[in-house]
Amino acid sequence: MTLPLEGLSAIVTGAGRGLGRAEALELARLGAAVVVNDYGQPGRDGSGEASAAPAEEVAAEIRAGGGRAVAHLGDVADFETARGLVDLAVREFGKLDVLVNNAGILRDRMVFSMTEDEWDAVIRVHLKGHFNTTHFAAVHWRGRAKAGETSVHGRIVNTSSEAFLAGSAGQPNYAAAKGGIVGLTTSTALALAKYGVTVNAICPRARTRMTEDVFAGFAEPGAGELDPLSPEHVAPLVGYLASPAAAGVNGQLLVVHGGMVAVVDRPKVAAKFDTAKAAFTYEELDSLLTPHYAARPAGETFAATEILGLKHE
C-alpha cells in the first residue's frame, strides 16, 4: 500500500520535543523523509545550552521504525541557519516538499511588566523563525517551477495559537507573534498558490513542556485514556495538510485538539454604520456606536474555554 507522503521530504522545526516531535513522527509514519530541527535548549524560555540530543533522539526513533530522518541543530530565527536547514533537506533527500514551522519559546509577562528583551525574543523566534524558513522554502519551490517542473508539491503548515484568537492577558508578545503568523500565512498562500504550494496555519492545543502551566487546571486523563490535550491529537491534521489530498486547502486557519478540528472563518463585519452627512462627526459616532456596544452583553469577548471546548476541573 502506498503511503500518503511516500516519496516526499519534510522539515519540522522545534521537533525535538512535544508537538514538533509528534508531528515529525506522524509525517514519517505517513511515508515522508524528515529533517528533525531543534535548537535543543532545555528552558521553554529559550534559555540554556543548545544541544543536538533532542533532535538526534527523534531522528533515531524514526530510523528505528524504518523511516528516513536526519537531525539538524540550529536556531531557525537566524537567517543563515534557516538557509542551511532547507539546503540540508535538499542535499539529503533531493528536494523539499513539506515545511512545518513549530519552533517557539515563551516569555510570559503582563504588558506593563514586559521588558524589551522579552518582547523581542518571542517575536524573533516565532515570527521571524517562521519567515526565515518560509523564505528559503519558497525560493526552492519557485526555482523548481521556473525550471519547468509541472507538479511541484509544496506544503507549509504554520503554528499559530488561540492566544491570538481569544486573547491572553499575560502573553502580549506571544499573542502578537501568533497573530503575525496568520498574516504571514495568508499572504504567502496567495503568493505561492500559482507554483502549486499551499500554506495553512493551525492553532493547536497540546499539553507540552511549553504549556504545562496553561493547562494545569484542565482535567487529566483517566487510567488508560488518551489525554485530550495529547500532541498526538494534533499531528494527524499536520499529516493531512502536508499530503496531496489537501491540495485544495490554502490560506486556512484551523483549531485542533482532542478529536476536534474547527475551520476558522475570516473576520466578518458585525455591524455597519453610514454617516448622514459628508463625513462623520464625534457626535454622530457617539450616537451610533455607544448604543451599539451598550446593547452587547457586559464583558462580551472570546473566552478560551469556549473556543477550546474544555473546562477547568
Known catalytic residues?
161, 174, 178
Q: Burial level of 146, CB count in 10 A (0-12/13-18/19+)?
A: exposed
Buried b / exposed e along 228-255 (16+ C-beta atoms within 10 A): bbbbebbbbbbbbbbbeebeebbbbbbb
Is residue 77 within 8 A of residue 40, CB to CB? The reply is no
Cα torsion angle, 123, 127, 130, 131, sign = negative
Q: Rounded to the nearest 10 degrees, what angle do helices 116-123 and 172-192 cross at?
A: 30
CA distance to 229, 232, 247, 308, per residue, from 258 (Å): 6, 9, 25, 9
Q: Rounded to the nearest 10 degrees, what angle do helices 53-64 and 18-29 cross at?
A: 30
Whose CA is closest to 308, among 189, 180, 197, 161? 161
**Integer Cα distance of 53 and 38 in angstroms:** 9
For 273-305, the three-class secondary structure string (H helix, E strand, C coil) is CCCCCCCCCHHHHHHHHHHHHHCCCCCCCCCHH
**Integer Cα distance of 211 and 208 in angstroms:** 5
* The residue count for the chain: 313
